[in-house]
Chain A
Amino acid sequence: MVEKHKNKKEIAAVIKISSDVVYLCIAETKENGIKILEYLEHPFSIAQDAYTSGKIGAEKVEKVCAILNNYRKLIQEYGITKVKTYATTAFREAANASFIIDQIKTRTHLDTIVLDDCEEKTYIYKQMMDQMEQSPQIINSNVFMAYIGSGSLGIAVYSKGNILFSQNIRIGTMKLLEILGDLKNDQQHFYTVIQEYLSSFKHAIRKMLPIDHFDYFIACGKEIQAVAQICKAEENDGLWFFSKEAFTTLSEELKFKSPKQIGKLFPIPEIRTQFMLPFMGIYQMLLEIIQVESIGVVPSGLLESLLFEMLHQKEALKRAKKFDAHTILYAKNLGRRFFYEEEHAIKVEEYAVAIFDATKKIHHLSHRHRFLLQIAALLHDIGKYIHLKYHALHSYQIIRDSEILGLSTKELMIVANLARFHTHIVNDFYQTDFGGLTKEDGVILSKLLAILRIADALDRSHEQKGTKIEVRLKKDTVKIFLHTSSQIFLEKWIFDKKSDFFSEVFGLPILLKRGDSHES
């Protein structure tokens, strides 16, 4: 029998169902990091289904379950209980994903979590930044970060400890292959076509970037790791570096090669060799924008990031908190791009957080919800950039169509809807479709909205009259004391108009008092 140890190191397993490969990664804790014990990849192509017909075929379920059951055997060998299964791009695109997930659950007892594009990138950026910040030089530099997924290209700008910008562009390797279709059979010209197609993105990307000078180009992903190895990369502070020249030479060498020939050169799964040319093309395009001499590669990625979070929960929380700061900063940068009124935004954030913290007993929301409230408070008026009239709707649209680093698609929708209803609650609010949110999310949205509206009212004059607020939760009321030396007639008037919704949501009246002294 296998002896159980008290101080046994923790082992966890992560399965990832991507568009063309199912991965299994098993790792154990090792000091502050993780040690990979097993790494498996099994080809499994569902991308074609998902992209073209929008559905994953039933016969694919059987195949993926066979792979997953094999993986489970290996997981059992280690006696692992911490197992998580994620699905990415293809499941996001497939209309029948929820049925497929249910069938997988029935046949393998595995719960599949679908990661959206933003979550995936968040995990990757976390991993990349962890690694980058090991190097004192990089931490003080301007870095262009890139990650190519099958569906999209993620780029981000890191400058001296902060992420200033990030964007997902829909030119992933598989997407590109799909767009270019039959052209891929023209071995002589395929790469040229890719390059020409991609060059149209150059200008747009250049314009998006908040800075033009970069010290580093740092990438992440299995393919770029393989490229780094072929280009004889050298290790430095845990990152692999190789010259841009080596990259260009390699892409010249590959450009007339068939996937099969490429497969002989690259230690990557056969099924992925067809993506190598689009992949090289995308990086080549980025390297033309970003003038650097060498390319750095983070030799780990999504799987490692997920495993780290499972194996180092405390550390992961710290890491998440740190990343939240990036998100806040990111939101502020977004605000600045649309000339938002920063003092008002920060004041509303302050009030909203104060109300949220004091009313935990009646809302039971999580820390993450508080965080969403913060972002919404910062961005609620961003739409004024377009027009004052209907500015809430403009805010909603801007937020919805932006990507906010660190927020999942669902979270982004909550934030956008908070902005949308911060001025008016429409009559049929409860029947509104909040952009695909569930009823449960609708309730969360309402609670956060009730708080946001109060917080916004407290600085209606946009003059930051209040020095601070005090919130007292009583059995039958919520009382807010706005400490200020100014008059608050306007605030009170608006407050009274907006407090109805709060009372409706929480079943308690909310009252505002001027609190320049400690009256009760």
Chain B
Amino acid sequence: MTATNLEDPSLYLNRELSWLAFNERVVDEAFDKDNPLLERLKFLSISGSNLDEFFMIRVAGLKEQKHFEYTGTDPSGSTAEEQLAMISQKVHEMVKKQYLCLNRELLPKLKKSGIEFLEPEDLNQKQNKQIAEYFFTVLFPVLTPMAIDQSRPFPMLPNKSLNQAILLRKEESHEPYFALVQVPAVLPRFIELGHRGANDSRGETRKFILLEKIVALYVKHLFRGYEVLGTVLFRITRNADLSIDEEDTQDLLEEIEKSLRQRQRGFPVRLEIESNAFPEIAETLSKMLEIDGRDIYEIPGPIDLSAFMKMFDLQGFSDLRYAPFKPQLLPDVLEHDNDFFLLLKEKDLMVHHPYHSFHHVVEFLEQAANDPKVLAIKQTLYRVSSKSPIVERLIQAAENGKHVTVLMELKARFDEENNIQWAKRLENAGCYVIYGLVGLKTHCKVLLVVRQEEDGIRRYVHLSTGNYNENTARIYTDLGLFTSKEAFGADASALFNVLTGYSEAPQWNVFSVAPKGLRETVLQLIDREIGFARAGQDARIIFKINSLLDKEIIKKLYEASMTGVRVDLLVRGICAIKPGVAGVSERIRVMSIVGRFLEHHRIFYFENGGNNELFLSSSDLMPRNLDRRVEVFFPILDETLKKDVYEVLELMFSDTIKGRLSRSDGAYTRIDKRGRIPLNAQEELCKRALIRSSSYKETEKEIVFRPKVKEFDI
């Protein structure tokens, strides 16, 4: 066993390729005929926005490495340059697949179902008249043509903006000119034809034309005296990773606002350009943007698939979507008349989103905000929605005289702007708002309520694997634990004392907290299983996480497998471990589920010689979580809840429909269904939630709600 060198790069999968494999699984869902049509379109659109973020962060990072001539390799042994080459090849294939899906599958089917996208040449007279009118009244005033030549700098095009490049010729001259016009981001991408009111749509086909097509069609009106030789649609993606020098920063709030403005202007990392473009235009763009061939993607269809998310919101067409699922209310809470303090004195409570309603969390906070005995409320906020009921309750609590402390993570990627707004409002209401520790993102999700009761101070804690965001709680699967157990309360208090900078990290009772101690705890727990395996006992580990990338932990898992520990991993996204390698990881199984809901919980199970232990965490097993974030890892002590969570794990591993198994090479295959009952774990969990609450009639009022999905929150 010692003969195996676990440092061998061939034992690790490259993270970027593994991520791309994940995105491919998302694209696969768009191909899946068993999914409703608009859901398929949504998967495709998500795969598009995922790729955008991938370029803005990951590819940009690799390009930076290359730029600074960093020659190191990743654990799988590839340099930045090698990785960029592999990514480019893979993404080119992926783009082909995405548009094959769109053009061959989804658009024809949508047309049949009554949603049609027209080309300018398909328009009838009436429709032509409509777009002409649209152009001259709406579009024209907001279009700004820009001439391009060697004598002036190329205009700073915003990140992810759509632009038309236009080749012009002055009448009677031979010299071509080059100009740009941005397709306005403020206007809808899809312009509906012949259709105004939203309610008279029954039975009729709805027809749309893309905004850029209108621009192209009438672009000549912007360049009087010129002949338009051709137009080419393109989009650039820029480096958008915020890097802030916190050490020298007096006010983080100000600094992030500043850096957000800069995000528009990061260096370009990708050029998407419509297929069969004028070679002359394509060449000029490539030269001007300093983008080489590898980073140019020819798009055989509408550029920017994420825009199709809008179509998903189209009124009607409910047969083209999943039947709505109402997150269920828990009978336990209802039986206690929403008195969480009473309930939690009796026992712990677990909420499983989105099967159970996030409303419980809001209600708990509501009760705390208005309870006369509550002294203080403390909460971490990472991503909050734009109309956050959570924040509203915190403001209310502050107004009621409670001491409210909020740790607002301003650095939550892509949510910075939103978070800044909230931070300001909370401060104005009298909350004590803090922005976390220098150099560390606060990613843990903790809510603490301190209450003065007759028999002393009692602390109520809610800990979750997911954010305090009622929108994502309907799409992301997460587990939240409510408890009044003293050890949790003491640790939560201490954690806030660390986050406020009041105190050094103490000795924790039940928590393990990154960056100091979480990895160690996980390694120790794996070691303990190894011990059991060595002693000839059954040993088993189950992790359900979003990403597995940490080399130290992977090595330890290999060691576990080699010693005889059974290791079952359910990893939605990036997974750098190679299962089934002879002599190294034969006992490791890696499965992934991409489904209707975004698998997001982090669950850790250890057999522990029969005294099994279960933990939840806000953390994935990636170096960034373990080293550069404040994350919490905590046990579930209540036996009933432990059993519940274990059942969830079992169920997920029995998924034959959405589950995929990873091969040693990092490719994923469908589950062999032979001899197995077809099972979709997410659907099954919906059913179970309905059964559980069926004893209670009151279920949450359905709210039709279409969130902006952020698949990248991993």
Task: Please report A residues at the B interface, Cβ cutoff 8 Å.
Answer: 1-3, 5, 7-9, 11, 24, 28-30, 35-43, 67, 70-71, 73-74, 76-79, 226, 229, 267, 269-270
Contact = CB atoms under 8 A, between A and B. Distances in A.
15 contacts: A2-B375, A3-B373, A5-B452, A24-B503, A30-B456, A37-B457, A38-B493, A38-B497, A39-B494, A40-B494, A70-B502, A71-B502, A77-B376, A78-B375, A267-B507
Contacts of B372: 1-3
Nearest to B505: A267
A76 B403 CA distance: 9
Contacts of B497: 38, 40, 74
A37 B503 contact: no
A5 to B, nearest CB: 7
A269 B452 contact: no
B493 A37 contact: yes
Nearest to B455: A9
Contact of B457 (A1, A24, A28): A28
Contact of A1 (B401, B456, B500): B401
Give 10 nearest A-B pairs by CB, closest first: A40-B503, A3-B372, A267-B507, A77-B403, A77-B376, A269-B504, A9-B456, A70-B502, A40-B497, A28-B456
B454 A5 contact: yes
B432 interface: yes
Contact of B504 (A9, A42, A229): A42
B506 A39 contact: yes
Of B450, B455, B502, which is in contact with the most chain A CB atoms at under 10 Å from its CB? B502
B403 A35 contact: no
Given A1-B372, A38-B493, 7 more contacts: A2-B373, A29-B456, A30-B456, A39-B506, A43-B504, A78-B376, A226-B507
Nearest to A23: B503
Contacts of A267: 506-507
Contacts of B506: 39-41, 267
A270 B506 CA distance: 11
A40 B497 CA distance: 7
A3 B401 CA distance: 11
B439 interface: no
B72 interface: no
B694 interface: no
Given A37-B493, A41-B504, A77-B403, A11 B375 contact: no
B400 interface: yes
A1 B432 contact: no
B501 interface: yes
A8 B455 CA distance: 7
Contacts of A229: 507
By secondary structure, the A interface counts as: mixed
Contacts of B502: 24, 40, 42, 67, 70-71, 73-74
A38 to B, nearest CB: 6
A95 to B, nearest CB: 29
Nearest to B501: A70
A135 to B, nearest CB: 24
Contacts of B456: 9, 28-30, 35
B503 A41 contact: yes
A77 B454 contact: no
A42 B507 contact: no
B452 A2 contact: yes
Contacts of B403: 76-77
Nearest to B432: A73
Nearest to B508: A267
A2 B457 CA distance: 13
Contacts of B402: 2
A356 to B, nearest CB: 42
Interface in B235-271: none
Contacts of A40: 494, 497, 502-503, 506
Nearest to B450: A77
B375 A77 contact: yes
Of A11, A79, A267, which is in contact with the most chain B CB atoms at under 10 Å from its CB? A267
A110 B528 CA distance: 49
A82 B452 CA distance: 16
Interface in B442-467: 450, 452, 454-457
A226 to B, nearest CB: 8
Contacts of B490: 36-37
Contacts of A76: 403
A492 B374 CA distance: 71
A39 B372 CA distance: 25
B77 to A, nearest CB: 29
A475 B457 CA distance: 55
Contacts of A78: 375-376, 450, 452, 457
Interface in B392-419: 400-403
B143 to A, nearest CB: 54
A38 B496 CA distance: 11
Nearest to B497: A40
A74 B497 CA distance: 9
A270 B452 contact: no
B514 to A, nearest CB: 14
Interface in B481-497: 490, 493-494, 497
Contacts of B503: 24, 39-42
Contacts of A42: 502-504
Contacts of B452: 2-3, 5, 8, 78
Contacts of B375: 2, 77-79
B504 A270 contact: yes
Contacts of B376: 77-78
Contacts of B494: 38-40
Contacts of A41: 503-504, 506
A67 to B, nearest CB: 8
A11 B372 CA distance: 18
B451 to A, nearest CB: 10
Nearest to A3: B372
A229 B503 CA distance: 21
Contacts of A71: 502
A405 B1 CA distance: 62
Contacts of A9: 455-457
Nearest to A11: B457
Contact of A70 (B374, B454, B493, B500): B500
Nearest to A270: B504
Interface string B50-65: 0000000000000000
Contacts of A269: 504
Contacts of A29: 456
Nearest to A78: B375
A76 B450 CA distance: 13
A29 B376 CA distance: 20
Nearest to A9: B456
Nearest to A73: B432
B706 to A, nearest CB: 40
Contacts of A36: 490
A38 B493 CA distance: 7
A7 B454 CA distance: 7
A233 to B, nearest CB: 13
Interface in B66-82: none
Of A38, A42, A43, which is in contact with the most chain B CB atoms at under 10 Å from its CB? A38
A316 B457 CA distance: 23
Contacts of B373: 2-3
Given A7-B454, A9-B456, A37-B457, A2 B401 contact: yes
A28 B458 CA distance: 11
A42 B506 CA distance: 10
A456 B456 CA distance: 53
Contacts of A74: 497, 502
A38 B500 CA distance: 14
B38 to A, nearest CB: 49
B78 to A, nearest CB: 31
B67 to A, nearest CB: 33
Contacts of B501: 70
Of A7, A40, A71, A270, which is in contact with the most chain B CB atoms at under 10 Å from its CB? A40
B512 to A, nearest CB: 12
